[in-house]
Amino acid sequence: MTTTHPTPFDAEIKARHRKLWASGDYPAVADLIAPLGRRLVDALHITAGDKILDVAAGAGNVAVPAAEAGGHVVASDLTPELLSVGEARHRDLPITWRTADAEDLPFDDDDFDVATSCVGVMFAPNHQRCADELVRVVRPGGRIGLINWTPTGFIGELFAVMKPYAPPPPPGAQPGPLWGDADHVRSLFGTGVTDHEFVTETVEISEFDDGAAFRDFFKAHYGPTIMAYRNVGDDPARVDELDAAIAAHADRHLTDGRMEWEYLRAVLTVG
């Protein structure tokens, strides 16, 4: 594993990411996919006494069911505004909420029994750094559990729809939905893990009657969508194009008021 050190350029990128995810109301978006946290906890067979790190935890979609299962949980995220929402909502649970960068985790080697991330770590720009850090902080024989949107599923395709309108990514940043490709995940973790279990599943979303309703919700609440609109905000024709493109994308996936959002669930055993 190669040790890397943050640079001023890295700090600028992190500031942009914090701003992106603090915009809008990501916890409201995460509430749509709340069942994913329980699914990941169940897949990892988390039990009382497990020491767990939830990386890019947001407001706690995984951290909360992990704590309810008896785990000793640290919920970490680059964006303190999201952690504040989780802490305010779940003061009754023994969760430590800590600001931390997924590419440079402030924890000791072999410190946790389990590390998790649910559609979180996938959005950090340097995938290899994140994978190396996850392996480093989990003890040998421990588990890493990930849920990530697939490139060909609804959210992965949404990013493709928004890409022509969004600000350019920082140099060297890798597309987040690559984490939803099993071959990419295998290549990231390499010999750092001894076993892989991959399952492709969907989560049903039934909150939107039509594509316009979905678009308006994401336009108001989801950081990457908000930033895409801000990027073209001075061009009304481009805004109209983006409005139509997102609504059409959602309409293509809606059947009787329901959508299926595809994700890859990965459970890895650390070597």
Q: Where would I find the H helices in 90-210?
A: 127-137, 154-162, 182-189
Alpha carbons 181 and 174: distance in angstroms, whole number: 13
Q: Which CATH class is domain 8-159+167-205+264-270?
A: alpha beta
Tracing tokens 């299962």 back to the chain, one arrives at 69
How are strands ordered across the β-sheet holding 112-118?
95-99, 72-77, 51-54, 112-118, 138-149, 259-270, 193-205
pLDDT tens figures, 65-105: 999 999 999 999 999 999 999 999 999 999 999 999 999 99
Alpha carbons 43 and 78: distance in angstroms, whole number: 25
pLDDT tens figures, 145-161: 999 999 999 999 999 99
Burial of 26 (0-12, 13-18, 19+ CB in 10 A): buried
Q: Which of these, 55, 236, 197, 19, lies nearest to 133 by C-alpha position?
A: 55
175 alpha carbon, distance to own chain's centre = 12
Q: Where are the domains of the chain?
A: 8-159+167-205+264-270
pTM, to two decimals = 0.95
pLDDT tens figures, 13-53: 899 899 999 999 999 999 999 999 999 999 999 999 999 99
Ramachandran angles phi, psi of 197, nearest 5°: -130, 120
